[in-house]
Protein backbone atom coordinates (compact mmCIF):
# COMPACT_ATOMS: atom_id res chain seq x y z
CA UNK A 1 0.00 0.00 0.00
CA UNK A 2 1.09 3.56 -0.70
CA UNK A 3 2.32 5.85 2.04
CA UNK A 4 0.64 9.21 2.59
CA UNK A 5 3.68 10.91 1.06
CA UNK A 6 3.46 8.77 -2.09
CA UNK A 7 -0.30 9.28 -2.29
CA UNK A 8 -0.05 13.07 -2.02
CA UNK A 9 2.64 13.09 -4.72
CA UNK A 10 0.46 11.01 -7.05
CA UNK A 11 -2.60 13.15 -6.35
CA UNK A 12 -0.60 16.28 -7.17
CA UNK A 13 0.78 14.67 -10.31
CA UNK A 14 -2.70 13.59 -11.38
CA UNK A 15 -3.68 17.26 -11.61
CA UNK A 16 -1.26 17.65 -14.53
CA UNK A 17 -1.11 14.25 -16.18
CA UNK A 18 -2.97 10.97 -16.36
CA UNK A 19 -1.91 8.25 -13.95
CA UNK A 20 -1.68 4.60 -14.92
CA UNK A 21 -4.57 2.38 -13.88
CA UNK A 22 -2.37 0.79 -11.21
CA UNK A 23 -1.50 4.17 -9.74
CA UNK A 24 -5.16 5.24 -9.75
CA UNK A 25 -6.16 2.01 -8.04
CA UNK A 26 -3.42 2.36 -5.42
CA UNK A 27 -4.50 5.94 -4.69
CA UNK A 28 -8.16 4.93 -4.38
CA UNK A 29 -7.34 2.09 -2.02
CA UNK A 30 -5.26 4.40 0.14
CA UNK A 31 -8.02 7.03 0.18
CA UNK A 32 -10.52 4.43 1.41
CA UNK A 33 -8.44 4.01 4.53
CA UNK A 34 -6.89 7.44 5.12
CA UNK A 35 -9.02 10.42 6.13
CA UNK A 36 -6.07 12.80 6.10
CA UNK A 37 -5.35 12.06 2.45
CA UNK A 38 -9.05 12.37 1.59
CA UNK A 39 -8.96 15.86 3.12
CA UNK A 40 -5.82 16.63 1.11
CA UNK A 41 -7.61 15.62 -2.11
CA UNK A 42 -10.52 17.88 -1.17
CA UNK A 43 -8.18 20.78 -0.48
CA UNK A 44 -6.36 20.27 -3.78
CA UNK A 45 -9.68 20.21 -5.60
CA UNK A 46 -10.78 23.42 -3.88
CA UNK A 47 -7.50 25.17 -4.77
CA UNK A 48 -7.76 24.03 -8.38
CA UNK A 49 -11.32 25.35 -8.69
CA UNK A 50 -10.33 28.66 -7.06
CA UNK A 51 -7.34 29.05 -9.38
CA UNK A 52 -9.52 28.50 -12.43
CA UNK A 53 -11.87 31.27 -11.32
CA UNK A 54 -9.08 33.77 -10.68
CA UNK A 55 -8.29 35.56 -13.92
CA UNK A 56 -4.62 36.06 -13.07
CA UNK A 57 -2.13 38.49 -14.53
CA UNK A 58 -2.03 36.79 -17.95
CA UNK A 59 -5.71 37.57 -18.55
CA UNK A 60 -5.64 41.20 -17.42
CA UNK A 61 -5.80 43.92 -20.07
CA UNK A 62 -2.49 45.68 -20.63
CA UNK A 63 -2.48 49.09 -18.95
CA UNK A 64 -0.32 50.58 -21.69
CA UNK A 65 -2.80 49.69 -24.44
CA UNK A 66 -5.30 52.39 -23.45
3-58 pLDDT, tens digit per residue, is 999 999 999 999 899 999 999 999 999 999 999 999 999 999 999 888 888 876 65
Q: How much is the pLDDT for 10?
A: 97
CB 11 within 8 A of CB 45: no
Q: Residue 61: which pLDDT band, with cuts at 50, 70 and 90? A: low
Distant-in-sequence, close-in-space partners of 23: CB < 8 Å, separation ≥ 6: 10, 14
Amino acid sequence: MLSCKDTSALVSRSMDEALSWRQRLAVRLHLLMCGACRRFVGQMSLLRRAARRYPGIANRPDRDSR
